[in-house]
Amino acid sequence: MRRQVCIIGGGPSGLLLSQLLHRQGIDSVVLERKTRDYVLSRIRAGILETGMVNLMREAGVSERMDREGYIHEGTVIAHGDDRFGINFKDLTGDHVMIYGQTEVTRDLYDARDAAGGTVIFNAEGVTIHDADSDAPYVTYITEGTEHRIDCDFVAGCDGFHGVSRRTIPLDVRREYEKVYPFGWLGILSETPPVHDELIYAGSDRGFALCSMRNDNLSRYYVQCSLSDSPEDWTDDAFWDELRKRIPQEFADQLITGPSIEKSIAPLRSFVTEPMRWGRLFLCGDAAHIVPPTGAKGLNTAASDIHYLYQGLLQFYHEGDSEGIDRYSEKALARIWKAERFSWATTNLLHRYPDQSPFDLKMQKADVAFLRDNHAAQTAFAQNYVGLPY
């Protein structure tokens, strides 16, 4: 098989790139290690920046998102019983969209099907060959048979545990990492959200987040120990802990119900540089990870795809390689700002095991400054709605 672009990974990054390229007459193939059902079973991000919303529109897959998504013009920040709002609309003129990553991925799969796109599932042993040449190729195995795809470019959209990043030689790669001493226990419940905006809450017991997917589907998180497993937490234990971490006025109105999904995500900040090696380009979680506190994971994958898509258009339509030559530089400039925001908001609202009384005073002072200072709130809002591409 020959394709202009071979995309490894059938998550939101890979599918979005494939659909965008298709609409510009550039052919691709997506290799996905798992099944479609498995990919769609993962509950992950919930917040879309306007940049991602615009890419979904450009990809021609925004109809359901525009119908079912929720515009949010602000959020609540709480620390103990102290709570205040940050109004994105007043401060930036922008907003975010609540629309789950699962739905984004479903819409993209449906669009690839409708366009006759090629997504190969259960692709095992994906291996990238000659990425540092002008004739890269990719091999993979399905049903015991090895196949080869010759291509112009390889897009590594295969997430943190994929093969693409590891294809770049260790003496070329520079990796930066911070592993946080806690995780997030998340549940999904068919209950009405506790509030019409998200609530990011710090407390002496740890962080909590109240989010949602729709009027009767809520997403909640509590900071938990890395030694916890979902089985350690009954639903009642989760609800009790959540109530203790959010302001009393919200705890009193919380409507609980059985969890329909319960999982623990470890928190990590990670960036690999460069994001390009020869004809191989890393996108999304394959290149970087953020703690989900700033809702930047999916949204930085989106800006990567924007930069790579524009670079490939420039290459194929104008014969100019400037866009792909500057891909890594452009993508990393935005990624590091998102890494900083995600790291800072995690530090603002989480309890670290080794925090001293002085550290706690600094954290409370940070929250108070954000509560009282217009410039601080504007900076928070600009980061949260998404910095320019």
Positions marked active-site: 72, 200, 292, 296, 384
- 47-48 β-sheet, strand order: 47-48, 96-98, 70-72
Question: Looking only at residues 86 through 105 of this chain, which bind ligand FAS when binding is defined by CB under 6 A?
Answer: 101
Among 45, 65, 111, 349, indicate the residue that binds ligand FAS (CB under 6 A). Answer: 45
Residue closer to ligand PHB, measured from CB, 33 or 219 = 219
Q: Which does 293 bind (CB under 5 to 8 A by kind): ligand PHB, ligand FAS, none?
A: ligand PHB
Binding of ligand FAS at residue 291 (CB under 6 A)? no
The yes or no reply on residue 40 touching ligand FAS (CB under 6 A) is no
Would you say 151 and 5 are in contact if contact means Cβ atoms under 8 Å apart? yes
**For residues 268 and 364, which CB has a smaller minimum distance to ligand FAS in the complex?**
268
Nearest alpha-carbon partner for 95 in 140, 148, 51, 145: 51
Return phi, psi of residue 128, to 5°.
-100, 130
**Pick from 6, 10, 26, 98: which binds ligand FAS (CB under 6 A)?**
10
Of residues 219, 276, 279, 350, which one binds ligand PHB by CB under 6 A?
Answer: 219
Which residue, 108 or 198, is less far from ligand PHB as judged by CB? 198
Residue 9 · residue 108 · CB < 8 Å: no
Residue 33 in contact with ligand FAS, rule: CB under 6 A? yes
Which span (82-90, 161-169, 344-352, 371-379) binds ligand FAS, by CB under 6 A?
161-169
Q: Which of residues 224-283 bind ligand FAS (CB under 6 A)?
A: 265
Residue 198 binds ligand FAS (CB under 6 A): no
Separation in Å, CA 137 to CA 32, 165, 279, 363: 16, 16, 10, 50
Judge contact between 269 and 341, C-beta under 8 A: no
- Choose between 139 and 368: whose C-beta lies nearer to ligand FAS: 139
The nearer residue to ligand FAS, 78 or 123, going by C-beta atoms, is 123
Query: Is residue 125 classed exposed, middle or buried when 0-12, 13-18 and 19+ CB atoms within 10 A define those classes?
Result: exposed
- Between vectors from CA 11 to CA 7 and to CA 12, what angle results, nearest 5°? 100
Cβ proximity of 308 and 324 under 8 Å: yes
295 counts as binding ligand PHB under rule CB under 6 A = yes
* β-pair partners for 208: 201, 222
What are the angstrom distances between the C-alpha of 109 and each of 35, 61, 120, 190, 192?
Answer: 12, 10, 12, 25, 28
Is 102 a binding residue for ligand PHB by CB under 6 A? The answer is: no
211 binds ligand PHB (CB under 6 A): yes
Q: Interface with ligand PHB by CB under 6 A: which residues? A: 45-47, 198, 209, 211, 219, 292-293, 295
